[in-house]
Structure 1
Amino acid sequence: MQEFDLYAVLPELVLLVATCLLLVASVYVPERVVATPGVEQDIFHTPRGVGFVYFFTIILLVYLIFAFVGRMGDPALVAMNGLFQSDPLSNLLKACSCGAVLVSLIYSKQYLTDRAMFRPDFIVLALLALLGQMVLISGANLLTLYLGLELMALPTYALVAMRHNSEKSVEAGIKYFILGALASGFLLYGMSMLYGVTGSLDLIEIFKTVADPRINHLVMAFGLVFIVSGLAFKLGVVPFHMWVPDVYQGAPTAVTLMIAAAPKIAAFALLFRLLINTLLPLMGDWQPMLVVLAVLSLVVGNVTAIAQTNVKRMLAYSAIAQMGFVLLGMLSVFDEHAFSASMFYAITYVLTTLGTFGLLMALSRKGYDCETLDGLKGLNKKHPWFAFIGLVMMFSLAGIPPTVGFAAKLGVLEALVDGEHTFLAIIAVMASLIGAFYYLRVVKVMYFDEPVHDMAVSGSGYAKSILSLNCILVLALGIVPAGLMSLCLDAMRRTLLGS
C-alpha cells in the first residue's frame, strides 16, 4: 500500500475502526428490562451507555465533515490499484452524506428514546450504512461500486425492521429486503455482462473499451438495460418504485429519514459513476431510457401523491417525482452545468427532506406518531414557528420562491432548455404545478384548519435549534444559491477534467 493509498481511504478507515469499536463497546454496556404496556418486554441499553455512543458518534461525524471539506481542493487521484478514487465531487458528496446522517441522528434522538429504540445498535447500523455510501461514492471499479451498494443496503434493511413489535415495520423490512435484493441482482447481472464484453472491471478501462466499434453491441445493450433497471430500483423511480411508499410508511419515522436523505446522495453518485464516468459513449442508448423513467416518475409520483392522507406516504411519492428531476439533469451531452444542476438538486432535496421529517418527529411523542394530515391541523394556532418551518419545507419541495427548491428546479429546467430538451422542460413544469397542489394542501391544513387534538413539540432544545437552522438554510440558499451552485459546478468540472 502506497502512502497516497492510505491518505485516500483514511476517513473511511477511521469510520470503520470507530464503528467496530463502538459495536464492541456496546456489548459491555449494562442492560435493563423495561415493561412496555400492551407488548412483550423489550430490552434496551441504559441512557448512560447509549449516550456515550451517541456523543462519540456526533464528534466522529463532525470530524469527517471537516476532513472531506478540507480535501475538496485536492486533485483527483485513483488509489488502491484502481479500486478507489478521491476527487472533488466525491469529497463534496461524502461531506453532505455525513452531514445528513449527523442531522438525522440529532432529530431522531427523542423520537427513538420514546419508543425504546435509542440503542447503540441503531447508531452502529447507521454508521455502517454511511460507510457503504462513502465507498459507493468513491468507487472506481465495478466491484467497489457493488460492495459499497450492498454495505449501504444491508444495514438499512435491519434498521427498517428494527421495531420488531410493529407488524408494519417488519412487513416494510421484508418488502425492502426482497425488492432490494432483486435490484441488486439486476445491477450485478448488468455489470457481469459489461465485464463479459469489455474484459475489465475498471471504470476507466470500460470507458475506453465501450467506444470501440468492434465490441458486441447486442450484449452491451442487454447489460445496459439491466444496469439502468438496477439504478432505477435504487433511485425509486417509476416503474421500479413499488417499494418506496410501503417502506416510507411502514418504517419508524427516524428510519424513514435515514432512507430518504443520505442514500439519495449516494444514489446520485452511483448514477454519475456508471452512466457519465463509464458509459458516456453509449449515451444514445441510455438517454432514451432515462427520459422515459424521468417523465413517468414526474407524472405518476405527483398525481398519486394527491390522493394520500398519510404524510409519509405522500412524501414517498414526492420523492419519486423529485428523483425524476434529478434524472432530467443527466440528459445533456457532457455538460458539466447540467450535471452540476442535477447534483445541486440532489443535495438541496436532501436538505429539505431533513427539515420535513425533522418536523414530523418533533410533533411526535411517546405513544403517538405524527404521520397524517390530521396531525398537522391547526399547527399555526399552537406552534407558529414550527408551522412556518413546515411552510418553508413544503414551498421548497414545490419549488416556490424564495426557497432553495425553486433555485434547484430552475437550474434543471435551464439545463434542459440549453440542451434543446424544451418539451421535457414543459412536462417538468406541468408536473411541478400538479405537485404544488398537495404541498399547498399541507400548508392549508397547518394554517386554516382547527386542531383536532392537543399538540406538543418534543425533542431537546439542541434539536429544535438545528431544525430552525435547517429552515433558515433552506431560505438562505434560495435567496443566495450562487455559493453552493458554484461549489457543485467547480467540483463537477474538476472531476470531469481529472477523469
Structure 2
Amino acid sequence: MTTPALPTTVDLMPLLPELVLTAGAFALLIVDVFLDASRRVVTHALSLLLLAVVLVMLACGAGGQGTVFHGMFVRDGMAEVAKMATVFFSGLSLVYAWTWLRERKLYVGEVPVLVLFATLGMMMLVSAGSLVMVYLGLELLALCSYALVALNRDDPLSTEAAMKYIVLGSIASGLLLYGMSLVYGATGTLELSAIHTAVDAAPDRTMLLTGVVFMVAGTAFKLGAAPFHMWLPDVYQGAPTPVTLFISAAPKIAAFGMAYRLLESGVGPLAEQWHLLLAGLAAASLVIGNLVALMQSNLKRMLAYSTVSHIGFLLLGLAGGTPTGYAAALFYALSYALMSAAAFGAIIVLSRQGFEADQIDDFKGLNARNPWQAGLVLCVMASLAGVPPFLGFWAKLVVLRAALGGDLLWLVILAVICAVIGAFYYLRVVKVMYFDEPEGEVHPPRSGRVLPVVFGVNALALLALGVAWSPILAWCQRAFA
C-alpha cells in the first residue's frame, strides 16, 4: 500500500482564505495580550481589516476552486457564495458590537478573536468534503458561540442561556456524530462523494436510514428548526444583543451549507426519504414558530420564534430537492441574515446603558420621538413579514415557487397561511411605534454616528435589494449550476 503524497503549496491554494484567516486570528490573539483596555479598538479594527481582506480574496477567487486533503476540503461555487456571506455578516456583527459592548464595559479582546475563529469554523463547514471536516467545522463554530453567549458573566440570564446552549448543543452534536458513525458503518467511508456512490450498494439499509435520521435531527438543531428549537428563545434573550445578532445571521448560512453537504452531496440517493423529513420539519417550524411568536412581549424572544418560522421557509427550498430549490434556499438564507441583522441592529441602536430596548413596549411612540428611526424599523418589520416590495417578500416567493416545483403543494398552502399569521406580530411592533403614546423616560438620540448610519444602510438595503433582487438570486443559481 502506497503512502499518499504530502500536499504541496500549489495543492493548498484553495485553502488560501482560510489560511490567511487562521494566521490573522492567532496573530490578533497574541497582539491583544500587549494591549490595555484603552487600546482595545486596535484589536477590533484589525479584526475588521482581516475580515475585509478575506472577503476581497474570496470575491477575487484568490487560490481558485478545487479540493484539498484528498477531497476532505471542497471549494466550489456554493462554498464561495456561502463564505462571502458569512465573512460579511461576521464583520457586520463586529461593527454593531463595538459601541454596545463598550458602553456596558463588556468588551474584551477575545470577542473579535472568537468571532474570527467562529467564522473559520463556518468556512470549513460549508467546504466540507468529509464527515470529519463537517464535525471539525461545526465544533469550532459551536465552542466559540458558547463562549460569546456567556460573555456577561455577571448576568444570571446570560449565564443560564449559555449553560442551556452548551448542554443542548452537546446533545445535538452527539446526535449528529452518532448519525455519522452509522452512515460510516453502512458505507465504509467518511468521504461525502464516496458515501454518495456507496449508498445504493450499502448492505445494511436500516443502519444507513437510521444514520440519516440522526444527521437530519442534528442539522435541524443547528438551523433552529422545530421541534429542535428549544435553545433559541433563551439564547436569543439571554445573550448580549450583538452576540444574538451574530448567532442569528452568519451561522444560519453555514448551517444551510452543512445540510447541503451532508444530505445532497453525501446521501443524495436517499433524497426521497430525507425530503419527507425536511418537509415535516418545515411544517412544524412554520406552525410552532408563528403561533408561539404571537404570545411574546419580549422582542428578542419574538424574533427567536420568528427565526423558527423563517427556517421553515428555508427548508421549503431544501425539501424541493432540485438545484433550483437549493438556490432558492441559499437566497432565503442570505436574505434572512440581512433582515435578522437589521432587526437586532434596531435594538442595539435604540438601547442605552440601563435600557436594553428589548421589549415591544419599549418601542411605544417611537415615531413621535424619532420619525427616522421609526421609519427604518418599519422597513425591517415589513421585510420580515414579507410585504412587497421588500426583500423578504421576494425571498418567500422564490422558495414557495421552488417547493411547488418539488410537488409540495400542501406545504406551500401551509406556508402561505403561516405567513399571514406571522405578519400580525411584526405589524404589532409597527402599531406601537406609530399609534401608542411613549412610556417612561425619553432617551436622547445617540451621540455617535457610526451605529445609526450602519443601521440605516442595513434597513434601507432591504428596500433597495427588494427592487434589485434578481442579481443575488442569479448569483445563488450559478453556485449550483
**Which TM-score bucket, shorter chain as reference?**
over 0.9
Matches within 5 A, 1:255-270: 255-270=243-258
Instruction: Indicate the residue corresponding to 2:66 in structure 1.
Output: 77
Cα deviation for residue 73 of structure 1 reads 11
Residues 459 and 113 (structure 1 numbering): CA distance in 2 closer, same or farther, change over 3 Å?
A: farther
What amino acid does structure 2 have at the position aligned with 1:27?
V
- Distance (Å, rounded) in 1 between the aligned partners of 2:195 and 2:408: 28
CA distance in 2, matches of 1:261, 1:419: 27
- 1:295 maps onto 2:295 in alignment: no
For 1:286, the equivalent position in structure 2 comes to 274
Q: Does structure 2 retain, via aligned residues, the 8 Å contact 1:364–1:457?
A: no
Separation of aligned partners in 2, 1:425 and 1:72: 40
- Can you give the 5+ residue segments of structure 2 that lack an aligned partner in the other structure? 1-6
- Does the 8 A contact of 1:310 with 1:373 survive in 2? yes
> Does the Cα contact within 8 Å between 1:302 and 1:434 map onto a contact in 2?
yes
Query: Aligned-pair distance for 1:51?
Result: 0.7
Alpha-carbon contact 1:362-1:459 (below 8 Å) kept? no
The amino acid that maps onto 1:59 is L
Deviation of 1:469 (Å): 1.3
Is there any run of 5+ residues in structure 1 with no aligned partner, and where? 31-44, 494-499
Residue 177 of structure 1 is matched in structure 2 by: 166
User: Which residue among 233, 257, 264 is the counterpart of 1:276?
Assistant: 264
What CA deviation, in whole Å up to 9, does each residue of 1:435-492 have, x standing for no partner? 0000000111111111113133437312322211112211111112111010000112
Distance 1:231 1:72, change over 3 A: farther
Aligned partner letter, 2:303: L
How far apart, CA to CA, are the structure 1 residues paired with 2:241 and 2:146? Answer: 14
- For the residue of structure 1 that corresponds to 2:85, the secondary structure is helix
Q: Could you say what secondary structure the match of 1:261 adopts? A: helix
Aligned residue identity for 2:8: Q
Report the Cα offset of residue 169 of structure 1.
0.4
For the Cα contact (< 8 Å) 2:317–2:329, is it kept in 1? yes
2:338 is the alignment partner of 1:351:
yes
1:6 pairs with one of 2, 12, 21 = 12
Whether 1:207 aligns to 2:196 is yes
* 1:292 alignment partner AA: G
- Relative to the length of structure 1, the TM-score reads 0.93
Distance 1:106 1:65 in 2: 15
Give the 5 Å matches for 1:468-487.
Answer: 468-487=456-475
- The answer (yes or no) to whether the contact 1:264–1:350 under 8 Å persists in 2 is yes
CA deviation map 1:253-307 (0-9, x unaligned): 1111111111001000001101111111001111111111110100000000000
| Cα separation, 2, equivalents of 1:58 and 1:284 | 43
**What's the secondary structure of 2:29's corresponding residue?**
helix
**Structure 2 counterpart of 1:155:** 144
Q: Does 1:249 align with 2:255?
A: no
1:368 maps to which residue?
Answer: 355
CA distance in 2, matches of 1:127, 1:297: 30
Secondary structure, in 3 states, of the residue corresponding to 2:11?
Answer: helix
How many residues align? The count is 474
Distance across 1 between alignment mates of 2:20 and 2:446 = 33
Q: How far, CA to CA, are the matches of 1:285 and 1:476 in structure 2?
A: 39
Task: Supply the distance in 2 between the matched residues of 1:435 and 1:7 (Cα, whole angstroms).
Answer: 46
Question: Counterpart of 1:35?
Answer: none
Cα RMSD of the aligned pairs, angstroms, is: 1.3
Distance 1:329 1:20 in 2: 38
> Using the alignment, how far apart are the partners of 2:10 and 2:263 within structure 1?
27
The residue aligned with 2:76 is: 87
Q: Is 2:323 aligned against 1:336?
A: yes
Which residue identity is paired with 2:16? Answer: L
Deviation at 1:132, TM superposition (A): 0.6
- Provide the C-alpha distance between the structure 1 equivalents of 2:303 and 2:224, rounded to a whole number of angstroms: 13
Task: Give the secondary structure class of the aligned counterpart of 1:78.
Answer: strand
Counterpart selection for 1:313 from 292, 301, 306? 301
What is the one-letter code of the residue matched to 1:391? L
CA distance in 2, matches of 1:10, 1:459: 41
Q: Which residue of 1 aligns with 2:135?
A: 146
**Which residue identity is paired with 1:219?**
M
Within the candidate set 305, 314, 323, 1:326 is matched to: 314
Q: Hey, which bits of structure 1, 4+ residues long, moved more than 6 A? A: none
1:119 aligns with 2:108: yes
Structure 1 residue 430 corresponds to structure 2 residue 417: yes
- Say whether residues 1:450 and 2:456 are aligned partners: no
Describe the shift of the 1:460–1:91 C-alpha distance in structure 2 as closer, same or farther (beyond 3 A): farther
1:351 partner SS? helix
Distance, in Å, in 2 between the alignment partners of 1:246 and 1:459 is 31
Write the letter of the residue equivalent to 2:131: L
Deviation at 1:5, TM superposition (A): 2.9
- Cα deviation for residue 13 of structure 1 reads 1.1
Partner of 2:210: 222
The aligned amino acid for 1:223 is G
Report the 3-state secondary structure (helix = DSSP H, G, I; strand = E; otherwise coil) of the residue aligned with 2:295.
Answer: coil
Q: Secondary structure at the match of 1:277?
A: helix
| 8 Å Cα contact 1:254-1:361 kept in structure 2 | yes
The aligned amino acid for 1:226 is F
Tell me, yes or no, if the aligned pair for 1:362 and 1:457 is still in contact at 8 Å: no
- What residue in structure 2 maps to residue 417 of structure 1? 404
8 Å CA contact 2:13, 2:63 repeated in 1:
no
How far apart, in 2, do the equivalents of 1:125 and 1:225 lie? Answer: 32
Matched-pair contact (CA < 8 Å) for 2:96–2:345: yes
Q: Distance in 2 between matches of 1:441 and 1:284?
A: 40
| Residue of structure 2 equivalent to 1:41 | none
Query: Contact conserved, 1:189 with 1:226, CA < 8 A, in 2?
Result: yes
**Structure 1 match to 2:4:** none
Matched residues in 1 for 2:145 and 2:400: separation? Answer: 33
SS in 1 for 2:190: coil
CA contact (8 A) 1:72 1:92 kept: no
* Residues 31-70 of structure 1: pairs in structure 2 closer than 5 A: 45-46=37-38, 48=39, 50-70=40-60
Contact 1:110 1:459 in 2 (8 A): no
Q: Once the 2 structures are TM-superposed, how far is the Cα of residue 4 of structure 1 from its aligned partner?
A: 3.7
Q: How far off is 1:419 after superposition?
A: 2.2
Aligned counterparts of 1:115 and 1:189: Cα–Cα separation in 2: 41
2:237 maps to a residue whose letter is Q
